[in-house]
Chains A and B, each alone.
Chain A
């Protein structure tokens, strides 16, 4: 009798699990602790969400840049050899071989903060303090003649800064400009006038 009851209970539990498997969670993983989320969730989006409290100017930034960035990016952010150039290139985007820099190309200043904070300096990523990052971003803007050397960049005024090429982007429009045109039945014979 006991055996019989057991099997009924077992069958019931099995059914319950089977029914919920698709609709409900598997119960895998564990809750992330706030300290863990804080350690990894460092990205800063274009709305400025995640931008830390702090400030810095180009004068301070120049010193840090010279020590930690200039070996690749040059003393004036002009770039050495094949390493990325961070300054210059204004009005070259519609020329042959445009020079795309933070000043000439990048649409959001938040991107510079986000990238420098998380991924730079090259070989020692994530080692800069929040104020150091503000100062470096300020120095890059200064190198692009976009601010004065004593302009203090901070979480307060960061989002107010409009990048020169902010309006230079369109969302993927290949559907209208290309796909519609390149979907004709392809030519098989006498396809070129110059035959």
Chain B
């Protein structure tokens, strides 16, 4: 079959599909202009003169028209900006890679200024030889590239008791997804001659909070990376420059930034960040600890409260993100009626292990209100739960690990709002 014939066939299929939706649907090109568009008929400045020369911006930033696509915080959430969090503008991004400049930040004592020259990484504890590495040493180990999502355990944490924050950025924006370059932690442990009876590693950052977490040795040897590049360039200061830990699929707090020490131990430290925080209190007052893995989750990023439909009825792209700390996303379903009926969305690419997956549902919107939801499934067969299912098991006080199905109420005018449906 020739290429043209294929195109004709698929176009016929599209038109007949559109016609089947109903009389409200508009065939492509049906809109009529009354007057000629001056952007087309009049000479424009940008088409006649010069633009910027090379090096006008030695390191490029987004053009001014995209100035609103930035990290934002919710000030009342925390007491102080240096021990706080902000949110990735996921409502305005597409694809899966998060640009470093708008990837969410979480600091416990602020983003510190630590140069490569001043950087040291120590490995001690149950090892043959405690070692000190410089930054240059790390670049001499065999390195790997992997794309992984990093999600704060508190992402969606404000939504346990009811719909609260009005925007995907704020309900689901404690996440980013980058391509990391780094050295497998296993290689560094082998270099120090780790004691194979050691069951844990304690990892600690160089900032004043000295954030420390205990990681089981099995995970440390499996896929943990000591990373120094993200999306091809050096880590940003706010993400742990020059070196951070990458703990695929596990809660962001374990991805220790400015990592300076790795200690092989026989028992967990039970540090503040793994006892008083990042533990999940259930309805009966008992709390779960060591809930490291982030369960499968998804959210529609557009349309959403910050990304309303402005074009009226007709062709509409519904899109969102899905991810799982247990492996690959295999399927995402979308509901337009609050979970009564579902249809399976198109994955932009097959799901990748512990990385964001982009999904699309291309519809012909009839202009009526929608209760938009998405539901992710991962390779283990796990199905993202509803809020009710989560609450039935955990109650309302867990704070962390809220991976419930999110609902956006999209009104006839295209505006959307964070709501709950029963």
A interface list, Cβ under 8 A from B: 25-26, 28-32, 36-37, 40-41, 43-47, 49, 72, 81-83, 93-94, 96-98, 100, 102, 105-108, 110-111, 114-115, 118-119, 122-123, 125-126, 168-174, 177-179, 181-184, 186-192, 194-195
Contacts and interface: CB of A to CB of B under 8 A. Distances in A.
B265 interface: yes
B275 A111 contact: yes
A32 B122 contact: yes
B67 to A, nearest CB: 30
6 closest cross-chain pairs (CB), A and B: A94-B285, A93-B285, A82-B79, A125-B208, A32-B130, A46-B270
B132 A72 contact: no
Contact of B141 (A26, A45, A169): A26
B193 A25 contact: yes
Given A29-B191, A122-B83, A169-B286, 5 more contacts: A45-B268, A110-B270, A168-B285, A186-B333, A191-B342
B383 A186 contact: yes
B341 A190 contact: yes
A70 to B, nearest CB: 14
Interface of B: 76, 78-79, 83, 108-109, 122-125, 129-134, 137, 140-141, 190-193, 202, 204, 208-210, 212, 260-261, 263, 265, 267-272, 275-276, 279, 281, 283-292, 295, 333, 338-343, 375, 377, 380-385, 389, 393, 396-397, 422
A174 B141 contact: no
Nearest to A21: B142
A22 B358 CA distance: 37
Contacts of B261: 40-41
B141 A183 contact: no
A156 B390 CA distance: 44
B137 A96 contact: no
Nearest to A24: B190
A187 B130 CA distance: 55
A125 B27 CA distance: 66
30 contacts: A28-B137, A29-B192, A30-B131, A30-B132, A31-B132, A45-B268, A82-B76, A83-B79, A96-B396, A102-B276, A107-B275, A108-B270, A110-B270, A111-B276, A118-B210, A125-B209, A126-B210, A169-B279, A170-B286, A172-B290, A172-B291, A174-B288, A178-B385, A182-B389, A186-B342, A186-B377, A188-B333, A189-B341, A190-B341, A191-B339
A82 B340 contact: no
A31 B341 contact: no
Contacts of B288: 169-174
A97 B276 CA distance: 15
Given A29-B133, A45-B267, A170-B286, A191 B382 contact: no
Nearest to B335: A191
B292 A43 contact: no
A191 B341 contact: yes
Contacts of A108: 270, 275
Contacts of B76: 82
Contacts of A115: 271-272
B275 A28 contact: no
A183 B270 contact: no
Contacts of B190: 25
Given A31-B131, A40-B260, A182-B385, A46 B269 contact: yes
A194 B338 CA distance: 11
A3 to B, nearest CB: 31
Contacts of B272: 111, 114-115, 119
Nearest to A163: B275
Contacts of A100: 276, 281
Contacts of A190: 340-341
A35 to B, nearest CB: 12
B162 to A, nearest CB: 12
Nearest to B183: A28
A32 B124 contact: yes
A189 B202 CA distance: 48
Given A110-B270, A188-B342, A25 B396 contact: no
Nearest to A188: B342
B274 to A, nearest CB: 9
A192 B389 CA distance: 14
B385 A111 contact: no
Contacts of B333: 186, 188
A114 B131 CA distance: 23
B140 A72 contact: no
A93 B396 CA distance: 11
A10 to B, nearest CB: 22
A40 B215 CA distance: 19
A110 B381 CA distance: 40
Nearest to A34: B130
A76 B260 CA distance: 35
A141 to B, nearest CB: 15
B271 A123 contact: no
A192 B279 contact: no
Nearest to B110: A123
Contact of A174 (B131, B268, B271, B291): B291
Contacts of A47: 267
Contact of B287 (A36, A126, A168, A178): A168
Contacts of A195: 340
Contacts of A97: 397
